[in-house]
Amino acid sequence: MMRIAVLVLVAANLLYFGWTAWVDQGAPDLTAVAATARKPAAEAPPPPPPAPPPCATLGPFTTDVDAAAAEQTLAAAGWGILRRAVTEEVREGWWVYVGNASASAQSRTLNALRSAGMRDAFAMPDDPEFKVSVGIFSEEDRAEDRASRVQRLRLDAVVRERTSQQTVTWLDIPGVARETSPMAGWRRPECNSNACASRPAHLSRPRRPTRLRGRRHGAASAEPASR
Query: What does the alpha-carbon distance between residue 164 and residue 91 come to, in Å, rounded to a whole number?
Result: 7
Cis peptide preceding 50, ω within 30 of 0: no
Contact (CB, 8 A) for 21 and 51? no
Query: What does the alpha-carbon distance between residue 156 and residue 99 come to, in Å, rounded to a whole number?
Result: 7
Kindly state the average pLDDT of the residues 56-71.
88
Contact (CB, 8 A) for 113 and 134? yes
Q: For residue range 150-166, what is the model confidence (pLDDT) as tens digits?
A: 999 999 999 999 888 88
Rounded-to-5 percentages of helix, strand, coil across the chain = 35, 25, 40
Kindly state the average pLDDT of the residues 39-55.
71
Q: Structural domain boundaries of the chain?
A: 55-186
Q: Which residues of 77-106 are buried (b: 16+ CB within 10 A; e: fewer)?
A: eebeeeebebebebbbbbbbbbbbeeeeeb
For residue 30, the one-letter residue type is L
Which carries the bigger pLDDT value, residue 189 or residue 52? 52
β partners of residue 98: 132, 157
Contact (CB, 8 A) for 208 and 94? no
Q: Inform me whether the pLDDT recorded for 210 exceeds 50.
A: no
What confidence category does residue 44 fall into, taking pLDDT thresholds of 50, 70 and 90?
Answer: confident
The predicted model scores a pTM of 0.48
Instruction: Say what the pLDDT of residue 169 is.
Output: 92
What confidence category does residue 15 fall into, taking pLDDT thresholds of 50, 70 and 90?
Answer: low
Which carries the bigger pLDDT value, residue 202 or residue 155? 155
For residue 70, the one-letter residue type is A
Architecture of domain 55-186: 2-Layer Sandwich (3.30)
Please enumerate, as own/partner, the contacts of 124-128 that have beta carbons within 8 Å and a separation of 24 or more: 124/97, 124/220, 124/222, 124/223, 125/220, 125/222, 127/220
